[in-house]
Chain A
Amino acid sequence: MDVNTDGPDDRDLEDGGLDLTPRTPPAGAAVGRTRSMRRWGAVGVLVGLVAVVAFVAVQARGASLYYRNADEAVAQRESLGRDRFRLQGVVVGESVDDGNAKVFQVAYRGVSVTVRHTGKEPALFKPGLPVVAEGSWNAAGTEFDSDRLLVKHTEDYKKADTGDYEQQHPDRVPANDADSDTDPTQAPSRGERPDAS
């Protein structure tokens, strides 16, 4: 900035300053095109960003109804029909392999559902751990046909207590505000877990 300090302001074109844009002739056309390209580029990026945010937001809305607990699935059996949904419950007892499907019980708040699962199961799948099964009620509405099974492991990394997970964690997942008719105040709180050390 020591050069030519009494000259015009170099950064101001109106003041007769120097054009610092890299020069590729013809100068006028190139500058105009670059500007409009930049503007359209910015609009493109903005549209892309809005699309991504909208997509994620739509997915998040679906995610907020991520699963139905076993008791809710039973209560809503009529309205659900053959609709595909996710079923959440704790695996109770051993599972039986009947040749083409793995059959086991999941329970939540004392309501159990028989799940007939075809497909892979995660390594952590075992009795006592909550799972989320994806599928629908069968035609008779007696069993849940699942083709995708995820284990929803818990936040408890302390030594396992008696193993009767359902009784000790009755309030493990929040009740569905719209559909639940059970009174959450009747459930004992987490702090009353007997064996927690």
Chain B
Amino acid sequence: MNPLFRMHPDGTASRASRVFGLVLLVAVAVFLAVALVISPPDSGPNASENSMGDLVRIMYVHVPVAVACYTAFFVTAVASVAYLVRRSEGWDLLAAASAEVGVVFTVLTLATGSVWGHIAWGTWWEWDPRLTSTLLMLIVYIGYLALRGAVLDPVVRARRAAVVGLVAFANVPIVHYSVDWWRGIHQPATISRLDPTIDGLKLFALMFGMLVAIAVYVWLMVHRFRLEFVRARLEEQGLDTALAERRAEAETASGANPVTAPKGAS
């Protein structure tokens, strides 16, 4: 088998991550039961002023995935700083993995919010400060990933990505506080305040959802980080393999003289 395609013998999983994955699967199932069935709809005598009915349940997914994307980008920023200080490959790979997982969570945040907005507000999309800044955050982190794909030298890539990974985080607090700083259609904070405006089973479902989303983030990160690590090894191996192949080619092509001045090198 071509050494390029020989993967890490254990793939990206370990015994611990498998157990974690199983526990997480059960937790997700229990969470869905709490969010979709056990927690009360926002109607009847205990309804809030919004009286959202079953629509309130989308919050138990929307807010947790948003918290997960903040967490992911925070980890990218911290890992970027750590890389700039320590210059060790691990921090760079951690930053990259977290940014990618964060992008997935950001897309989920925008998608779930859009569905919620379509029904509650009456529009799929609005150029509201929260929505606009979130979209900008998504674009910036996609740019971060594109930058990583555009630089071939691993050391140059790591350095540039670390600077972008750090600078990009400046937008995250803007996203969070946009609902307080500017007027918009999006509601202000419900839980990240001194007097949360949610209680009972609704609060439990929301907190449980956030715990599950963070756990899903961690699980994804375990695998994504290992994959990134294996890819870095493959990249190194790929260079050696290319060297060996080109050398073999050169030897067969020019017979006795393997080291010839390459064409187009000047």
Contacts and interface: CB of A to CB of B under 8 A. Distances in A.
A65 interface: yes
A123 B115 CA distance: 13
A109 to B, nearest CB: 14
Interface stretch (B4-12, B19-27, B98-106, B121-129): B121-129
A165 interface: yes
Contacts of A123: 119-120, 122
Interface string A118-151: 0011111110110010000000000000000111
Interface in A60-100: 60, 62-67, 88
A154 interface: yes
B16 interface: no
B116 to A, nearest CB: 10
Nearest to A30: B264
A64 B129 contact: yes
Contacts of B218: none
Contacts of A88: 183
A65 to B, nearest CB: 7
A56 B42 contact: no
A60 B49 contact: no
Q: How large is the interface on A (under 10, 10 to 19, 20 to 34, 35 or more residues)?
A: 35 or more
Contacts of A20: 239, 242-243, 246
B247 interface: yes
B50 A27 contact: no
A102 interface: no
Q: How large is the interface on B (under 10, 10 to 19, 20 to 34, 35 or more residues)?
A: 35 or more
Contact of B120 (A3, A66, A124): A124
B264 A28 contact: yes
Contacts of A150: 121-123, 126, 185
A7 B259 CA distance: 9
Interface string B189-214: 11000010111001000000000000
Contacts of A158: 48, 197-199
Contacts of A67: 183
Interface in B227-247: 239-240, 242-244, 246-247
B38 interface: no
19 contacts: A1-B243, A3-B243, A14-B265, A16-B261, A18-B243, A18-B246, A18-B259, A20-B246, A28-B263, A42-B150, A63-B128, A124-B52, A132-B185, A152-B185, A157-B42, A157-B199, A158-B199, A160-B51, A196-B195
**Minimum-distance CB pairs A-B, first 5:** A122-B122, A19-B262, A28-B264, A157-B198, A27-B263
Given A19-B262, A64-B129, A161-B49, 19 more contacts: A7-B259, A10-B247, A18-B259, A20-B243, A20-B246, A32-B264, A52-B139, A60-B133, A63-B132, A66-B129, A132-B185, A150-B126, A153-B121, A154-B50, A155-B189, A156-B48, A156-B190, A157-B197, A159-B48
